[in-house]
Amino acid sequence: MSRHPVRIAPSILSADFAALGAAIAAAEKGGADLIHVDVMDGHFVPNITIGPPVVKSIKRVARVPLDVHLMITDPDKYAEAFVQAGADMLSVHVEVLPHLHRSVTFIKSLGVKAGVVLNPSTPVVALEEIAADVDFVLVMSVNPGFGGQKFIPKSLQKVAAVRAMLDRAGNTSTPIEIDGGIDLSNIARAIAAGVDIVVAGSAIFNTPDPVAATRALKDAAAVAS
Ligand code: DX5
Ligand code: ZN
Protein backbone atom coordinates (compact mmCIF):
# COMPACT_ATOMS: atom_id res chain seq x y z
CA MET A 1 0.00 0.00 0.00
CA SER A 2 1.19 3.48 -0.76
CA ARG A 3 1.17 6.16 1.90
CA HIS A 4 0.53 9.19 -0.32
CA PRO A 5 -1.93 9.86 -3.11
CA VAL A 6 -0.12 8.49 -6.16
CA ARG A 7 0.81 11.13 -8.72
CA ILE A 8 0.90 10.61 -12.48
CA ALA A 9 3.72 12.29 -14.39
CA PRO A 10 3.26 12.03 -18.17
CA SER A 11 6.61 12.10 -20.00
CA ILE A 12 6.49 14.34 -23.06
CA LEU A 13 9.36 12.35 -24.62
CA SER A 14 6.80 10.39 -26.64
CA ALA A 15 4.71 13.44 -27.55
CA ASP A 16 4.84 15.38 -30.82
CA PHE A 17 7.59 17.95 -30.18
CA ALA A 18 5.92 20.31 -32.67
CA ALA A 19 2.81 20.37 -30.48
CA LEU A 20 4.05 20.22 -26.89
CA GLY A 21 1.47 22.73 -25.69
CA ALA A 22 -1.38 20.55 -26.90
CA ALA A 23 0.25 17.43 -25.43
CA ILE A 24 0.60 19.05 -22.02
CA ALA A 25 -2.96 20.37 -22.11
CA ALA A 26 -4.24 16.88 -22.92
CA ALA A 27 -2.25 15.29 -20.11
CA GLU A 28 -3.51 17.91 -17.66
CA LYS A 29 -7.08 17.40 -18.82
CA GLY A 30 -6.64 13.69 -18.07
CA GLY A 31 -5.51 14.47 -14.54
CA ALA A 32 -1.70 14.72 -14.78
CA ASP A 33 -0.18 15.83 -11.49
CA LEU A 34 3.22 16.70 -12.96
CA ILE A 35 4.81 16.96 -16.38
CA HIS A 36 7.95 14.82 -16.70
CA VAL A 37 10.61 16.37 -18.94
CA ASP A 38 13.45 14.14 -20.17
CA VAL A 39 16.71 15.97 -20.82
CA MET A 40 19.34 13.94 -22.73
CA ASP A 41 22.76 15.07 -23.87
CA GLY A 42 23.98 12.33 -26.21
CA HIS A 43 26.80 11.49 -23.76
CA PHE A 44 25.26 9.95 -20.67
CA VAL A 45 22.57 8.40 -22.84
CA PRO A 46 22.60 7.70 -26.58
CA ASN A 47 19.93 10.25 -27.44
CA ILE A 48 19.57 14.04 -27.49
CA THR A 49 16.39 15.85 -26.54
CA ILE A 50 15.81 19.30 -25.17
CA GLY A 51 17.46 22.03 -23.13
CA PRO A 52 16.52 25.01 -20.94
CA PRO A 53 14.88 27.14 -23.69
CA VAL A 54 12.29 24.45 -24.36
CA VAL A 55 11.68 23.96 -20.63
CA LYS A 56 11.12 27.71 -20.37
CA SER A 57 8.47 27.59 -23.09
CA ILE A 58 6.80 24.55 -21.52
CA LYS A 59 6.70 26.38 -18.20
CA ARG A 60 4.65 29.16 -19.78
CA VAL A 61 1.83 26.77 -20.71
CA ALA A 62 1.94 24.07 -18.01
CA ARG A 63 -0.37 24.44 -15.03
CA VAL A 64 1.14 21.58 -13.04
CA PRO A 65 4.75 21.47 -11.75
CA LEU A 66 7.59 20.41 -14.05
CA ASP A 67 9.54 17.30 -13.07
CA VAL A 68 12.83 17.60 -14.97
CA HIS A 69 14.91 14.42 -15.32
CA LEU A 70 18.52 15.21 -16.24
CA MET A 71 20.15 12.39 -18.20
CA ILE A 72 23.35 14.34 -18.78
CA THR A 73 26.98 13.84 -17.78
CA ASP A 74 27.37 17.22 -16.07
CA PRO A 75 24.21 18.06 -14.15
CA ASP A 76 26.11 20.31 -11.69
CA LYS A 77 26.91 22.64 -14.57
CA TYR A 78 23.35 22.91 -15.86
CA ALA A 79 21.11 22.55 -12.78
CA GLU A 80 20.75 26.29 -12.26
CA ALA A 81 19.77 26.90 -15.89
CA PHE A 82 16.99 24.32 -15.66
CA VAL A 83 15.71 25.81 -12.41
CA GLN A 84 15.70 29.27 -13.97
CA ALA A 85 13.82 27.80 -16.93
CA GLY A 86 11.08 26.58 -14.60
CA ALA A 87 11.89 23.14 -13.18
CA ASP A 88 10.04 22.49 -9.90
CA MET A 89 11.63 19.08 -9.32
CA LEU A 90 15.10 18.27 -10.62
CA SER A 91 16.53 14.77 -10.64
CA VAL A 92 20.14 13.80 -11.28
CA HIS A 93 21.78 10.42 -11.88
CA VAL A 94 23.93 8.90 -9.15
CA GLU A 95 26.15 7.34 -11.82
CA VAL A 96 27.68 10.66 -12.93
CA LEU A 97 28.07 12.41 -9.58
CA PRO A 98 31.09 11.67 -7.35
CA HIS A 99 30.04 14.46 -4.95
CA LEU A 100 26.37 13.61 -4.73
CA HIS A 101 25.87 15.26 -1.36
CA ARG A 102 27.17 18.54 -2.74
CA SER A 103 25.01 18.24 -5.86
CA VAL A 104 21.83 17.52 -3.88
CA THR A 105 22.56 20.34 -1.42
CA PHE A 106 23.13 22.70 -4.34
CA ILE A 107 19.86 21.78 -6.06
CA LYS A 108 17.95 22.26 -2.82
CA SER A 109 19.61 25.66 -2.36
CA LEU A 110 18.08 26.67 -5.70
CA GLY A 111 14.65 26.27 -4.11
CA VAL A 112 13.44 23.13 -5.92
CA LYS A 113 12.96 19.49 -4.95
CA ALA A 114 16.15 17.47 -5.42
CA GLY A 115 15.81 13.91 -6.70
CA VAL A 116 18.40 11.22 -7.28
CA VAL A 117 18.07 8.58 -9.98
CA LEU A 118 19.28 4.98 -10.07
CA ASN A 119 19.87 3.16 -13.35
CA PRO A 120 18.74 -0.47 -13.46
CA SER A 121 22.29 -1.73 -12.83
CA THR A 122 23.04 0.70 -9.99
CA PRO A 123 22.64 -0.80 -6.51
CA VAL A 124 20.39 0.81 -3.91
CA VAL A 125 23.33 1.06 -1.52
CA ALA A 126 24.70 3.88 -3.69
CA LEU A 127 22.12 6.09 -1.96
CA GLU A 128 22.71 4.89 1.58
CA GLU A 129 24.66 7.93 2.79
CA ILE A 130 22.37 10.45 1.12
CA ALA A 131 19.03 8.86 2.01
CA ALA A 132 18.24 11.40 4.71
CA ASP A 133 18.89 14.36 2.39
CA VAL A 134 16.99 13.65 -0.81
CA ASP A 135 13.53 15.04 -1.61
CA PHE A 136 12.65 12.08 -3.85
CA VAL A 137 14.22 9.00 -5.44
CA LEU A 138 13.67 7.98 -9.06
CA VAL A 139 14.06 4.29 -9.86
CA MET A 140 14.67 3.65 -13.56
CA SER A 141 12.71 0.63 -14.74
CA VAL A 142 14.34 0.74 -18.19
CA ASN A 143 17.82 1.81 -19.25
CA PRO A 144 17.47 5.54 -19.87
CA GLY A 145 17.60 7.00 -23.36
CA PHE A 146 14.40 6.11 -25.12
CA GLY A 147 10.67 5.88 -24.64
CA GLY A 148 8.70 2.74 -25.37
CA GLN A 149 11.09 0.20 -23.85
CA LYS A 150 10.10 -2.93 -21.98
CA PHE A 151 9.64 -2.71 -18.21
CA ILE A 152 12.34 -4.51 -16.15
CA PRO A 153 10.41 -6.50 -13.49
CA LYS A 154 13.29 -6.55 -11.00
CA SER A 155 12.75 -2.80 -10.57
CA LEU A 156 9.87 -3.59 -8.21
CA GLN A 157 12.20 -5.24 -5.68
CA LYS A 158 14.41 -2.20 -5.97
CA VAL A 159 11.51 0.13 -5.19
CA ALA A 160 10.78 -1.86 -2.03
CA ALA A 161 14.46 -1.75 -1.05
CA VAL A 162 14.64 2.01 -1.59
CA ARG A 163 11.50 2.46 0.52
CA ALA A 164 13.05 0.46 3.35
CA MET A 165 16.26 2.45 3.12
CA LEU A 166 14.48 5.83 3.15
CA ASP A 167 12.40 4.73 6.13
CA ARG A 168 15.50 3.61 8.01
CA ALA A 169 17.00 7.04 7.37
CA GLY A 170 13.88 8.67 8.85
CA ASN A 171 12.75 9.95 5.47
CA THR A 172 9.41 8.20 5.67
CA SER A 173 7.46 10.63 3.50
CA THR A 174 10.02 10.95 0.71
CA PRO A 175 8.33 9.83 -2.50
CA ILE A 176 9.65 7.18 -4.86
CA GLU A 177 9.18 7.71 -8.58
CA ILE A 178 9.36 5.01 -11.23
CA ASP A 179 10.24 5.68 -14.86
CA GLY A 180 10.15 3.38 -17.86
CA GLY A 181 7.76 0.89 -19.39
CA ILE A 182 4.84 1.67 -17.10
CA ASP A 183 1.36 1.04 -18.46
CA LEU A 184 -2.00 -0.32 -17.33
CA SER A 185 -0.57 -3.84 -17.09
CA ASN A 186 1.98 -3.06 -14.37
CA ILE A 187 1.00 0.21 -12.65
CA ALA A 188 -0.80 -1.58 -9.80
CA ARG A 189 2.25 -3.75 -9.08
CA ALA A 190 4.47 -0.66 -9.05
CA ILE A 191 2.22 1.03 -6.52
CA ALA A 192 2.04 -2.09 -4.40
CA ALA A 193 5.85 -2.10 -4.32
CA GLY A 194 5.85 1.45 -2.92
CA VAL A 195 5.80 3.82 -5.88
CA ASP A 196 4.35 7.30 -5.24
CA ILE A 197 4.98 9.00 -8.59
CA VAL A 198 4.41 7.16 -11.88
CA VAL A 199 6.06 8.35 -15.09
CA ALA A 200 4.42 7.20 -18.31
CA GLY A 201 5.39 8.28 -21.81
CA SER A 202 4.37 5.93 -24.59
CA ALA A 203 1.42 4.59 -22.59
CA ILE A 204 -0.03 8.11 -22.85
CA PHE A 205 1.30 9.78 -25.98
CA ASN A 206 1.55 6.75 -28.28
CA THR A 207 -2.19 6.31 -28.04
CA PRO A 208 -4.92 8.00 -30.07
CA ASP A 209 -6.38 9.65 -26.97
CA PRO A 210 -3.79 10.95 -24.45
CA VAL A 211 -6.55 12.48 -22.28
CA ALA A 212 -8.25 9.10 -21.83
CA ALA A 213 -4.90 7.31 -21.43
CA THR A 214 -3.83 9.67 -18.64
CA ARG A 215 -7.21 9.31 -16.97
CA ALA A 216 -7.03 5.50 -17.19
CA LEU A 217 -3.63 5.46 -15.46
CA LYS A 218 -4.89 7.91 -12.86
CA ASP A 219 -7.93 5.73 -12.16
CA ALA A 220 -5.79 2.58 -11.99
CA ALA A 221 -3.50 4.36 -9.52
CA ALA A 222 -6.45 5.38 -7.37
CA VAL A 223 -7.72 1.81 -7.26
CA ALA A 224 -4.27 0.45 -6.38
CA SER A 225 -3.48 3.02 -3.68
C1 DX5 B 1 13.61 7.11 -20.56
C2 DX5 B 1 12.92 8.30 -19.96
C3 DX5 B 1 11.49 8.08 -19.68
C4 DX5 B 1 10.64 7.77 -20.87
C5 DX5 B 1 9.58 6.82 -20.42
O6 DX5 B 1 14.95 7.38 -20.67
O7 DX5 B 1 13.56 8.71 -18.77
O8 DX5 B 1 10.93 9.17 -18.93
O9 DX5 B 1 10.02 8.88 -21.44
O10 DX5 B 1 8.88 6.41 -21.53
P11 DX5 B 1 7.98 5.09 -21.48
O12 DX5 B 1 6.90 5.37 -20.47
O13 DX5 B 1 7.48 4.98 -22.87
O14 DX5 B 1 8.88 3.99 -21.06
ZN1 ZN C 1 12.47 10.21 -17.45
Options 33, 38, 183, 196, the catalytic residue: 38
For the segment 29-42, what is each residue's pLDDT rounded down to a tens digit? 999 999 999 999 99
**% pLDDT > 90, the chain:** 97
Q: What is the pLDDT of residue 2?
A: 43
The DSSP 8-state label assigned to residue 68 in this structure reads E
End-to-end CA distance of the chain: 6
Residue 3 scores a pLDDT above 80 = no
Annotated catalytic residue, options 67, 135, 179, 196:
179
Whether residue 179 lies in the annotated active site? yes
The pair phi, psi for residue 95, each rounded to 5°, is -65, -20
Say whether pLDDT at 1 is over 70.
no
Query: DSSP secondary structure string, 4-58?
Result: SPPEEEEBGGGS-GGGHHHHHHHHHHTT-S-EEEEEEBSSSSS-B---HHHHHHH
Report d(CA 222, CA 59) in Å as an integer: 27
Question: Which of 8, 12, 13, 155, when mutated, tests ligand 1's pocket best, judged by the most ligand atoms within 8 Å of its CB?
Answer: 13
How far is it between the farthest Cα atoms of the chain? Answer: 45
pLDDT for the residue 136: 98
35, 40, 146, 152, best to mutate for ligand 1 pocket (most atoms within 8 Å of CB): 146
CA of 37 to the centre of ligand 2 (A): 7
Residue among 199, 124, 198 at smallest CA distance from 166: 124
Q: Per-residue pLDDT for 110 more than 80?
A: yes
Instruction: Determine the pLDDT at residue 4.
Output: 73
What rounded mean pLDDT belongs to the chain?
97
- Which residues lie with the beta carbon below 6 Å from any ligand 1 atom? 11, 13-14, 36, 38, 69, 142, 144-149, 179-182, 199-203
Q: What percent of the chain has pLDDT over 70?
A: 99
Among the bound ligands, name the one nearest to the CA of residue 202. 1
Q: Note the pLDDT tens digit of each residue in 114-153.
A: 999 999 999 999 999 999 999 999 999 999 999 999 999 9
The predicted pLDDT at position 143 comes to 98
| 33 part of the active site | no
